[in-house]
Structure formats: C-alpha cells, structure tokens
Structure 1
Amino acid sequence: MASNSSPGQSDFLFEMHDEQTKPVDHQQQGDAKPKVEYDFIRNAQGELISGGVTGIVELLENGTVLKAPYPGLDMDLHIQDIAKEADIYRRIGPHKRLIQMLDHSEEGLVLEYMKNGDLKTYLQSHSPIPIDLKLKWAYQVAEAVDLLHRNGVIHCDIKPRNLLLDTSFDIKIIDFSGSSLDGSRPTSGESTRFYLPRHWKDPSTVTTDLFALGSTIYEILYGTCPYRDIASDEVERLYKQHEFPDVSDEPWGQIIRRCWLSQFDSAADLQSAIWDIANFGS
C-alpha cells in the first residue's frame, strides 16, 4: 500500500504477510503463506511490491527496485543481512542468472526490476505451460544454484518465489540476505516442503540446497509444491521416513527423487542429468 503523496515524502502503516523460516513454520495447507504481521511507520519510497524476513521491496518511480531493511529493534541486523547480499552480488559479478545490483547503501539495495514477476506466481496463473519451457527452467535453476555454490554461497531458501522471470522468460535467482556466505550462519531457512530433515543445529550445506532444489523442480514440473494438501507436521514426518511424492510416472522423476535422497554431489551434476533428459542439444 503506497501513500497518495509523492514518494519519499509521506509515512504509511505497513502490514505484511510472508513466509517464515523452517524452525517457526506453522504452514498447514499446501504452500499458502502463514500469517506474519509487521506493523510500523516508515517513509514510503515507492510502490510496495514484496517483502520477506529481512526487508521491504518497493518499485521506484524510475523503474528500479529498492530492497530496504525493516525498521525497528532489529534494523541493524537487517542492514547487515542486506550488506551481505550486496557482498554476494559483488563477489559473483554480472551473470545471466542474477538480476543486476545497481547501488547499495544503508538505505538498502537498488536492483533491476523483473516485470514478469516470480516463478511461483507465474506457475499459478498460467496453464498449460509447455514441458520444454519447464525443463528449461529446471536446468536454469540448477545452473543458478551451481553459480552460487561455486562462489561460496549456500542460498538456504530455494523455492519458486525466489526465482524471477526476465523479459525472455529466463530464470534469475534472488534473495541472498539470509544466505550463508563462506560458512557464515544463515538468517533464513527453507519452509517445510523444501527442508531436508536434520537437527536444527546442523549447518546449511550444498546438500540442503539440493534438497530444496528437488522440491523446486517438482513444483516447476507438476505445477504445485510437494504434498500440497497435507499438513506440514505430517509432511515433515513423511520426509524423515524418506516417503516422498510419487514421481515415477515421468522421466524426470528420478532426478527429483535423487535430490530428495541426497544422491547428487553438486548442482552441476544435477544440470547434466536434466540436460540428458531434456535433450536440449538435439
């Protein structure tokens, strides 16, 4: 909700619902968002378009996006998380699987805007989607995750909502403010259907990202998240017993299951497996 006054000149009361990280995930039905409310007064810079655990995302009048830290008692921590995200963009540099970081200050990150939005919303609002396009997305997500891992980044929250589509409907991975950089402790985590069962003190690793990648590819190819209609507590129990949705009906099912069973050593290996099934080169 944006004020009717000119951007940057007015205050507004901001209420937001967004996904929580795994340790406090109380989601009960499918991938609907659990209700998390933030109420505060802040200066509006543009049109509110999104937000997460760390920051508010606004579309500015000049067509760029501002990711600003939440104000309040934890604002210093949010500023640190956004600074870490900026460090990740700087370390990796420009890449076709990343959006462009245009600026960074304590005000937040200025990023390029992807008008086609996030992949989850696109999957929900468009049907049918050609299988060739879905397989391309699966390959590109694996490519993006491999890029992060090769640069010392564990994403820690891979899911379709953290994947954007550019004007050519190619994938861009986003939201590194809660990620682990060079083994640092992450400040975000996967929601239940993307979460590799483990002790809560265990670190996030390549393997935990690849598990989430398996659930992401499942959602891309099947159009819905794993076990959408089952309560999260039951999903967690099933995952612990290695009881996953049946994916044996399609040739890519083995790839998804191997992600869930931690049978890939790297996202690059997963890329190769997707390439072989999709026959992109034929």
Structure 2
Amino acid sequence: MVAGKFMAVKKAGGCPLFRVLIGKEINGLLQEINTLKRLKHKRIVRYQGCIRQDSEEDPALLIFLEYMPSGSIKGVLQKFGPYGIRLVKKYTRQILEGLDFLHTEKIVHRDVKGANILIDAHGDAKLADFGASQNLEALHTLHGTCITSGINSIHGSVFWMAPEVMKYRAGRRSDIWSLGCTVIEMITAEAPWPNLRERHLPVTEMLRHIVDSDEIPPLPDKIHPDCRSFLERTLNRDHTRRPYADKLLGHRFVVEVTTPAATPGGSAVAASPVSVASTIEAVASP
C-alpha cells in the first residue's frame, strides 16, 4: 500500500538459479516495465514498477501492478458459471478497446485469456500481463528447479494460442484469435477446444492439432448470429484475413453494447445501450 492505495504484487523467480542464470533478462525486464509505466488507458492494468529482491534464500523480481479487487474473468466464471450475452458483449468490447490501445503502442499482448483479464471495482474489464511477456517467459524457461512453472504456463495457454504463433511469431492478429477463444470461454465458462481436452492428449499433440489441422475451436451451440459472425472473423485460421482490433470495434456484435453491472452468474442490472451505430464499418457485414 503506497500513498493510501493498494497495489498487487507479482513475484517472478524464487529458485537458487534465478540470480546466476538470468541477470540479463532481469535487467531487460526492469527496463521494459519502467517503460510500460507510462502507459495509461482505462482498459489496461497499470504497471506501477518493479524491484529486484536480492536475498540469498529467495532471489526474485517483484512487479507492482494496479490492484483489481474483483479478480479475473476466469475466477468469476469458475465460481458463478457462464456470463450472460450482454456481459459477454460488454467485456468483448472492452477487451478490444484495450487491445486497440496496446497495438497502437506497438505492443502485442501474446497471452489474452480469461485469467489475464481482470475486473475492477466498477465491474469493467482490464487487460493484464501484457508487454513484458517475452522477458517474463525467459524467467520461466530456466534449466533445473525453475523449469516447472514454464511448462505449466505453456500448458495453461495452449487452448487460446493462435495457430501461427508456433510457426512464425505472435503478432497483433494473434491477439485477435485469442480474443475469439476468450469469447468462447466467457459463453461456456470453459477453456476452448473441449474436443481436445476430452481426449487427454499430451501438450505436444494438442499443439500439433491446433497448428496443423484445418479446424477452429468448436463454437458454442445456439449462439446469436452476430456472435457467430464475430467468432468466425476472429478465429480465421489465415491470420492475414483476421481484422485488427480497430476494425472489430465496428462489428455489430459489439457496436451497440449495453452496459450491465457485473453480478454473480453473469446477470446484469439497469443496462442502457451505448449507441455508436455511426461507427459501423464494413467488417460488420457477414
């Protein structure tokens, strides 16, 4: 708590090899987070800074973030079940607004999913864990006792990962695929690709299927045509044909969004439409 405000603290490291093996990565991450501190937008969780914890017993990097009292979308879904469609629309638009800002700043999130979208005290969504993800990954791929967290991280994100990421590299359109997967997550309260999870495949087999098959994650049953159209655009396997975030903000699924207050179970109260029909672009057409 600084100046009367609470902050969240994320700890990276915590193994004996931390200081010896990754001094360069730590310094790079320190510099990057100090740069990210300048970013201010209503749809992103603010970085407050970071410090090194240079103790012999527990060397680590402490990253200070804006405190989000309501936790993550994933946590709410696990506790209360799927969101109603109005809340899905609201959060989808807010995630797009955050991605549009980050992409304008030439930052690719690289790990969009419910666990990395936090809810503030007003029930609005903000993107977390962006920007420094490449250097953070370096902290999780050490040899020896530090490697377990890296494996778990890869396993946890594979169902949201865009097919091209393993072949090329993550780009702005990779975030768009992950957004589509997150919409499925909000509608079903489950990770995408249930057909792969039911088969209990090894991580390598699941990755091979996601990268090399012609399939997209199964779409939820009985969804509104506008939602189906949005998902089909975001989950296009040809990444060159996926719209960018600014274009998707004109899609009819999110262009006239109600503003419900988030409540357990995804219900909403006192919603009023935000009419932005004049911003509809060609992307809104099927």
Q: 1:121 aligns with which of 62, 69, 75?
A: 75
CA drift of 1:158 comes to 1.0
Structure 1 equivalent of residue 254 of structure 2:
275
Distance 2:122 2:5 in 1: 22
* CA deviation map 1:187-240 (0-9, x unaligned): 589722112223746221112111111111211122211123333524641553
* CA deviation map 1:63-121 (0-9, x unaligned): 3222344142345224532532332231x2x2111223334443533222112111101
* CA deviation map 1:111-164 (0-9, x unaligned): 221121111011111135332112101111111111110001011111111111
TM-score for the superposition, normalised by structure 1: 0.66
Q: Which runs of 5+ in 1 are unaligned?
A: 1-45, 47-60
Give the 3-state SS of the residue equivalent to 1:246 in structure 2.
coil
Q: Quick check: 1:98 aligned with 2:44?
A: yes
Q: Quick check: 1:150 aligned with 2:104?
A: yes
* CA deviation map 1:48-75 (0-9, x unaligned): xxxxxxxxxxxxx973222344142345
Aligned-residue Cα RMSD (Å) equals 3.2
Change (3 A) 1:64 1:253: same
Change (3 A) 1:69 1:236: same
* CA deviation map 1:224-278 (0-9, x unaligned): 1112333352464155323121347322022112111133331111222132475
Report if aligned partners of 2:82, 2:186 keep a CA contact under 8 Å in 1: no
Distance 2:171 2:137 in 1: 10
Distance 2:137 2:174 in 1: 12
Superposed, which structure 2 residues align to 1:77-226 within 5 Å?
A: 77-90=25-38, 92=39, 94-107=40-53, 108-127=62-81, 129-176=83-130, 178-179=132-133, 187=138, 191-198=157-164, 200=166, 202-226=168-192
- The count of residues paired between Structure 1 and Structure 2 equals 219
Greater per-residue strand proportion: 1
Distance 1:165 1:199 in 2: 27
Greater per-residue helix proportion: 2
Distance 1:147 1:167 in 2: 21
Structure 2 equivalent of residue 7 of structure 1:
none
Give the 3-state SS of the residue equivalent to 1:95 in structure 2.
coil
The alignment-based identity, stated in percent, is 22
Change (3 A) 1:281 1:270: same
Change (3 A) 1:133 1:185: closer
Report if aligned partners of 1:192, 1:235 keep a CA contact under 8 Å in 2: yes
Q: Which runs of 5+ in 2 are unaligned?
A: 54-61, 141-152, 259-272, 276-286
Q: Which amino acid aligns with 1:242?
A: D
